Structure 1
Amino acid sequence: MKQTKWTLLMLCGLLIAALTACGQSDGKANKAAGNEAASSGKEPSKSMQDVKIVLDWSPNTNHTGLYVAKEQGFYEEEGLNVDILLPGSGGADAMVASGEVPFGISYQEGVTQGRTQGVPLVSIAAVIQHNTSGFAAPVDRGIKTPKDYEGKTYGGWGSPVEEAILKSIMDQTGADVGKVKFVNMGEADYFTAVKRDIDFAWIFYAWTGIEAELRGEPLDMQYVKDYTDKLDYYTPVIVTNEKTAANDPELVKAFMRATSKGYEYAIEHPEEAADILLKAVPDLDKELVLASQKWLSPKYQDDAARWGEQKREVWQNYSDWMHERGLIEKELDTDKAFTNEFLPE
Structure 2
Amino acid sequence: MKKLMIWTCLLVLLTACSSTSEESGEESESPQDVTLVLDWTPNTNHTGLYVAKEKGYFEEQGLNVEIIMPGEAGADQLVASEKADFGISAQEALTKARVQDIPVVSIAAIIQHNTSGFASPQDKNIDSPKDFEGKTYGGWGAPVEREVISSLMKQENADAEKVEIVNMGNTDFFTAVERDVDFAWIYYGWTGVEAELRGKDLNMIYLTDYSEKLDYYTPVLTTNQKHIDEDPELVKDFTKAVSQGYQYAIDEPKKSADILIDAVPDLDPELVKASQEWLSPKYQDDAEQWGIQEKATWQNYADWMYENGLLDQELKADEAFTNEFLPEE
Q: TM-score, with normalisation over the residues of structure 1?
A: 0.86
Tell me whether 1:228 sits opposite 2:211 in the alignment.
yes
2:15 corresponding residue in structure 1: none
Tell me whether 1:304 sits opposite 2:287 in the alignment.
yes
1:264 corresponding residue in structure 2: 247
Partner-residue secondary structure (3-state), 1:335:
helix
Partner-residue secondary structure (3-state), 1:217:
coil
The alpha-carbon deviation at position 47 of structure 1 amounts to 2.1
The alpha-carbon deviation at position 45 of structure 1 amounts to 6.4
Q: Distance in 1 between matches of 2:218 and 2:268?
A: 23
Partner-residue secondary structure (3-state), 1:183:
strand
Query: Quick one: which amino acid aligns to residue 170 of structure 1?
Result: M
**Identity of matched residues, %:** 65
Tell me whether 1:61 sits opposite 2:44 in the alignment.
yes
Equivalent positions of 1:26-175 (< 5 A) are 46-175=29-158
1:214 corresponding residue in structure 2: 197
The alpha-carbon deviation at position 107 of structure 1 amounts to 0.5
What's the CA shift string for 1:189-230, capped at 9, x where partnerless?
100000000110000000000000000001000000110110
Q: Distance in 2 between matches of 1:45 and 1:92?
A: 33
Equivalent positions of 1:239-258 (< 5 A) are 239-258=222-241
* 8 Å Cα contact 1:150-1:176 kept in structure 2: yes
Q: Distance in 2 between matches of 1:101 and 1:291?
A: 31
Match of 1:317 among 277, 300, 314: 300
Q: Distance in 1 between matches of 2:61 and 2:46?
A: 19
Tell me whether 1:203 sits opposite 2:186 in the alignment.
yes
Tell me whether 1:177 sits opposite 2:160 in the alignment.
yes
Q: Distance in 1 between matches of 2:165 and 2:315?
A: 29
The alpha-carbon deviation at position 319 of structure 1 amounts to 0.3
The alpha-carbon deviation at position 46 of structure 1 amounts to 4.2
Name which one, 1 or 2, has greater alpha-carbon Rg. 2
2:171 corresponding residue in structure 1: 188
Equivalent positions of 1:282-293 (< 5 A) are 282-293=265-276
Query: Quick one: which amino acid aligns to residue 288 of structure 1?
Result: L
Partner-residue secondary structure (3-state), 1:114:
helix
* 8 Å Cα contact 1:88-1:95 kept in structure 2: no
What's the CA shift string for 1:171-203, capped at 9, x where partnerless?
111111111111111221100000000110000
What's the CA shift string for 1:250-308, capped at 9, x where partnerless?
00000011100000000000000000000000110000000000000000000000000
The alpha-carbon deviation at position 102 of structure 1 amounts to 1.2
Partner-residue secondary structure (3-state), 2:267:
coil
Query: Quick one: which amino acid aligns to residue 235 of structure 1?
Result: T
Q: Distance in 2 between matches of 1:192 and 1:335?
A: 41
Partner-residue secondary structure (3-state), 1:221:
strand
The alpha-carbon deviation at position 88 of structure 1 amounts to 2.9
Partner-residue secondary structure (3-state), 1:58:
coil
Match of 1:330 among 313, 323, 326: 313
Query: Quick one: which amino acid aligns to residue 193 of structure 1?
Result: A
The alpha-carbon deviation at position 89 of structure 1 amounts to 2.1
State how many pairs are aligned: 302
Partner-residue secondary structure (3-state), 1:51:
strand
Partner-residue secondary structure (3-state), 2:169:
coil
2:327 corresponding residue in structure 1: 344
Q: Distance in 1 between matches of 2:181 and 2:105?
A: 36
Partner-residue secondary structure (3-state), 1:59:
coil
* 8 Å Cα contact 1:53-1:103 kept in structure 2: yes
Partner-residue secondary structure (3-state), 2:118:
strand
Partner-residue secondary structure (3-state), 2:137:
strand
The alpha-carbon deviation at position 100 of structure 1 amounts to 1.1
* 8 Å Cα contact 1:274-1:290 kept in structure 2: yes
Query: Quick one: which amino acid aligns to residue 206 of structure 1?
Result: G
Partner-residue secondary structure (3-state), 1:319:
helix
Partner-residue secondary structure (3-state), 2:34:
strand
Partner-residue secondary structure (3-state), 2:229:
helix
